[in-house]
Structure 1
Amino acid sequence: MGDLSQDLSRFQHPRFARAYARLSAEAESRATGELRGRLLAGLSGRVVEVGAGNGLNFAHYPAEVREVVAVEPDDVLREFAERASGAAKAPVRVVAGHAGALPVADGDCDAVVLSLVLCSVPDQRAALAEVRRVLRPGGEVRFFEHVRSSRPAVSLLQHAVTPLWRRFTGDCHPNRDTARALRDSGLVVEECERFPFKPLPSSPTLTHILGRARNP
């Protein structure tokens, strides 16, 4: 089980967190809410959500979900998530923790949800190893992430802007090949839809992936 006593100070981005909470709530009324619904449809049992943010996924969990353990390291976002937990059809427990050391026992969940989080974790390989650790054999991973463009010119631009982008977006990396990281982790990717998405008129259009994988 991940160490609950770990220092979470490196994950605190209060200014970005407040801006993200405001902008993501606006994006929810557009296509983002529909994508969250597709992400979570059909889930059941015990679910761990990694990087729950301000809890906008909670209202989309089916009633068949027995419990959602929502892990969030940022203090500001975790407070928003705690408020949002009351709108869920399924029981939600919001806990402090981070992707590299999830406060969940080995094989203790039926599904893991990764929603706009793998762009900002310090180490994707470590985070996905934790996902596999807490997931039972045959358990499912649902993912919705923005990823590096397959267009060479855009990809080069994403690499160039990443150092500055990270400073203002809570350590988000727009140049990560997250689809490949999922496959390299040992998960079996069963579905992976790739599409351009612009959550708000003021947002850049980024390539996103939405799909599911299985823990063999």
Structure 2
Amino acid sequence: MAASFAMANLWEKYAVPKLIRVACSQPAVMKDRSQIVPKASGEVLELGCGGGINLEFYDRSRVSKLTGLDPSVELLDYTRSEASARGFDMDILDGIGEAMPFADASFDTVLTTFTLCSVQDGPKVLSEMRRVLKPGGKILFLEHGKAPDKGPEKWQQRIEPIWKHIAGGCHLHRPVMDLFEANGFALTETDGHYAPKTPRWLGWMESGEARPI
């Protein structure tokens, strides 16, 4: 038992950050990122900033301040390296979405990309997003989630129990847009599509803008 626990910890610490970096920077994913990230403006919080993959897509002329939050120390090391290499002045913090270390009404934009799949408590994270948004603020999201077609959706249910253990707690079957709407957000500029050259059980992408009602 102790040996299994130790192996799991080693996998989480060393393998998962590399797996996430590779999986989340595939060409199709980067194209989707390039369409959502530049919409961030004002004082921006990137929830799940680990890896620093989004940094190349920000429109710096629109961002007055960038803050990043992520629970993975290893992924945050990548973020700091990317920010330094790009000359990006960024506040980078270790923390979770369910308990953000920020005052109320701190940000104009909250950006989340491929993060809501792995949080422990989705409604609590959305409640925290609402709390830290300034009046009139927006959430920009790009996530993979529950496929709309029965075939891929069945495979998601079958694979998810194993997938969560090898992919840092990532859920394949979360209905992202439904989660926002069920927790008091209005959605605009939404898009849903299967990523090309990706298994359909893994490749359903949802993106858009959410504002508190």
TM band (smaller chain): 0.7 to 0.9
Contiguous gaps of at least 5 residues in structure 1: 1-9
| Aligned counterpart, 2:199 | 204
CA contact (8 A) 2:29 2:195 kept: no
| Aligned counterpart, 2:17 | 17
**For 1:214 and 1:89, how far apart are their aligned partners in 2?**
31
User: Normalized per residue, which structure has more helix?
Assistant: 2
Query: 1:32-71 CA deviation, whole Å, 9 max, x = no partner?
Result: 2222121122322101111112011112111120111110
Aligned with residue 38 of structure 1, among 35, 38, 50: 35
Residues 182 and 111 of structure 1, relative CA distance in 2, 3 Å threshold: same
| Aligned counterpart, 1:7 | none
Residues 209 and 31 of structure 1, relative CA distance in 2, 3 Å threshold: same
Aligned with residue 54 of structure 1, among 51, 54, 65: 51
Query: What's the offset of the Cα at 1:88?
Result: 4.7
SS in 1 for 2:169: coil
**For 1:136 and 1:89, how far apart are their aligned partners in 2?**
27
Aligned with residue 144 of structure 2, among 140, 146, 165: 146
1:104-183 maps to which residues of 2 (within 5 A)?
Answer: 104-183=102-181
SS in 1 for 2:102: coil
Report the TM-score when normalising by structure 2: 0.87
| Aligned counterpart, 1:214 | 211
Deviates more, 1:155-164 or 1:86-95: 86-95
CA contact (8 A) 2:192 2:206 kept: yes
**For 2:167 and 2:144, how far apart are their aligned partners in 1?**
13
Query: 1:77-126 CA deviation, whole Å, 9 max, x = no partner?
Result: 01101111135575321110011111111111000001000100011111
Aligned with residue 69 of structure 2, among 64, 68, 71: 71
- Between the aligned residues of both structures, percent identity stands at 26
Query: 1:166-188 CA deviation, whole Å, 9 max, x = no partner?
Result: 01011001011111001111111
Query: What's the offset of the Cα at 1:141?
Result: 0.6
Contiguous gaps of at least 5 residues in structure 2: 1-8
Query: What's the offset of the Cα at 1:23?
Result: 4.2
Report the TM-score when normalising by structure 1: 0.86
| Aligned counterpart, 1:184 | 182
Aligned with residue 98 of structure 2, among 76, 97, 100: 100
CA contact (8 A) 1:61 1:89 kept: no
Query: What's the offset of the Cα at 1:127?
Result: 0.7
Q: Give the aligned residue type for 1:109.
A: F
